[in-house]
Structure 1
């Protein structure tokens, strides 16, 4: 199935809406302290907050605390997830700090409203449903394998979008990657290993300054479920030897040059679930990462072993993924004889 979401340019820098008073080279170096996807997100969030303020006759920077609490309330009342609201606050905080202004997100009025929103919505409401192994296998099996063309003169071909989706699902699950990491992955980040592959992540949500993080991609004895086989098959069929790993596919069954953007990856995961006949509500690209954590936990992996792959800094963060599934284990309520 051809993509409905065209790819975005690989290295388009975010608009300079945050760094004022710097020359071109200073802006370049200043932007190296954050991953490109993070900066693009900051720029988009800041533009939205700016538009919201201007529509109400308020200036975005320095932000009036009353305007900021009104903005947070609007987001919460409109159904925005906690993660979305938190990211907007991070963007507003970033802009003010870069401009040498007082950070309005730390003011008592703003913190009080934000704490109330978090308490009201709760943490779990913002989490994606984990994509567990049975549904993952169904999604893999439902990926199209053959592309049939209307032109009788054109022979059937392997379906590139299907091969891409299989690789994306398996790599995202086994490597426990975030959607931004799947989007940013380049061929040069992949290294062969006798046990499979090693993925180098130069930048991530939790690693903005340190050396590249290494994530292992073990080879499976079952080729149909092997992430290494799926990834190399996609790259070989698409003729990709350099540049972005995960790309859009044209209606003519050819790989596009640009990388998939993170939101498109969300959509592809939901489409993969829809093909199985299941309701995709509650699932997203993050369901792959959450599914890995939950499945590994259910198979007896320790939180420390899980965190080694997910790169969580806190073991408590790992526990938030498995709270629901763990609640069913060794629980008297499941054996009442009712």
Structure 2
């Protein structure tokens, strides 16, 4: 698997492009693509993450066809409909269905998009466009539900409603205190603070370059240029605020790690005894950022910094944390502070208000009318 795209969304490496061409060619009649330029243009237009998902989806589809004893290039709407039923857990009769893991409704829909693209680019009729498949997808959504599981939020001071209270539980404030007092800890602190200030996605954080940071100004604050992101594939770019505390953490990390140019966040390698071995030259892998969050939660627990929390609960926490956990926490903290929806969307580059409102739904439930009424009577 390729390493991943940086925030600058560099073109996918040639081997990725050839992989796309290869998968589509396998579906084409006589294994000859009618319009190769269409496939190559699509591969160049897609982000590396999209290419990676496309290749994964098509390979899973190919496996389904093999297990179903169907030639992938000649699959019909009935073949796709069977795949949807298996993916949604509605069919366990065939060997292919029993070997298929149940997926979320959104994942199934993505698979169909990838399959449809592949067949159209191969010059074949799109079997996913048939009414039968559309109806099976609708049935799958009824069975599975369409609400996506939300990452557990990492808020600055924890899950409490009092923003002036000390940080407690699994919170950014506690994780910052749990970091090590060496190069690894300096990197982790700079990363956590930047993630919170900017609400950047992991690919955006990993792609930050030294030249993207402007400041500090007279107040010690700075600005970071986010040149390209998931919602900005054309690279128009946007800016995000960095607090004086974050700017100091970045400066200390850069100074101790002797970073003068190139990627801001990098891998810190350690020896078997945990001591620092070296700092990498290349960017931190986006996929490792979630692992850093999980490691810091475990670190805080082992240092007895999470309060009255059991081993079982910390395991649940670690399982529920994802690359979006700080991003969700930022949204909830802003709602708790009384910031408006448009202000939150503008500051943190959200385009869909439904996403932001979904992030704030749990917080709203805890602080809404029903919660206030319950507290009024139970406190008596």
Q: Is TM (by shorter chain) over 0.5?
A: yes
Q: Which residue of structure 1 lines up, in the alignment, with residue 223 of structure 2?
A: 197
Q: Give how far 1:270 is off.
A: 1.7
**Aligned 1:1-338 pairs, distance under 5 A:** 13=13, 14-19=16-21, 27=40, 30-61=42-73, 63-77=75-89, 78-134=101-157, 135-145=171-181, 158=182, 160-192=183-215, 194=217, 195-202=221-228, 204-209=229-234, 211-220=235-244, 226-252=245-271, 253=276, 254-277=278-301, 278=314, 279-336=317-374, 337-338=377-378
Structure 2 Cα separation of the partners of residues 309 and 205 of structure 1: 16
Q: Give how far 1:231 is off.
A: 2.9
Q: Give how far 1:315 is off.
A: 1.9
Q: Give how far 1:130 is off.
A: 1.5
Per mean C-alpha deviation after superposition, the further-off stretch among 60-69 and 252-261 is: 60-69
Q: Which residue of structure 1 lines up, in the alignment, with residue 306 of structure 2?
A: none
**Would you say the 8 A contact 1:200–1:212 is kept in 2?**
no
Structure 1 Cα separation of the partners of residues 43 and 279 of structure 2: 30
Structure 1 Cα separation of the partners of residues 54 and 155 of structure 2: 32
Structure 2 Cα separation of the partners of residues 62 and 232 of structure 1: 58
Based on CA coordinates, which of the two structures has the bigger radius of gyration? 2
**Would you say the 8 A contact 2:153–2:328 is kept in 1?**
yes
**Distance change >3 Å, CA 330–CA 24, structure 1 → 2:** closer
Q: Give how far 1:17 is off.
A: 3.1
Structure 1 spans left out of the alignment, 5+ residues: 1-5, 146-157, 221-225
Structure 2 spans left out of the alignment, 5+ residues: 26-32, 90-100, 158-170, 302-313
RMSD: 3.2
The two structures have a TM-score, normalised by structure 1, of 0.78
User: What secondary structure, in the 3-state scheme, does the structure 2 residue paired with 1:127 have?
Assistant: coil
Higher RCO structure, 1 or 2 (CA under 8 Å, sep 6+): 1
**Distance change >3 Å, CA 217–CA 335, structure 1 → 2:** same
Structure 2 Cα separation of the partners of residues 75 and 239 of structure 1: 50
Structure 1 Cα separation of the partners of residues 286 and 147 of structure 2: 22
**Distance change >3 Å, CA 163–CA 24, structure 1 → 2:** farther
1:52-91 deviations in Å (ceiling 9; x for gaps)? 3333323444653333344344444435344544443443
Q: Give how far 1:100 is off.
A: 4.2
Structure 2 Cα separation of the partners of residues 306 and 172 of structure 1: 15
Q: Give how far 1:97 is off.
A: 4.1
**Distance change >3 Å, CA 82–CA 26, structure 1 → 2:** closer
Number of residue-to-residue matches in the alignment:
312
Structure 2 Cα separation of the partners of residues 107 and 26 of structure 1: 23
User: What secondary structure, in the 3-state scheme, does the structure 2 residue paired with 1:54 have?
Assistant: helix
Per mean C-alpha deviation after superposition, the further-off stretch among 87-96 and 283-292 is: 87-96
User: What secondary structure, in the 3-state scheme, does the structure 1 residue paired with 2:103 have?
Assistant: coil
User: What secondary structure, in the 3-state scheme, does the structure 2 residue paired with 1:126 have?
Assistant: coil
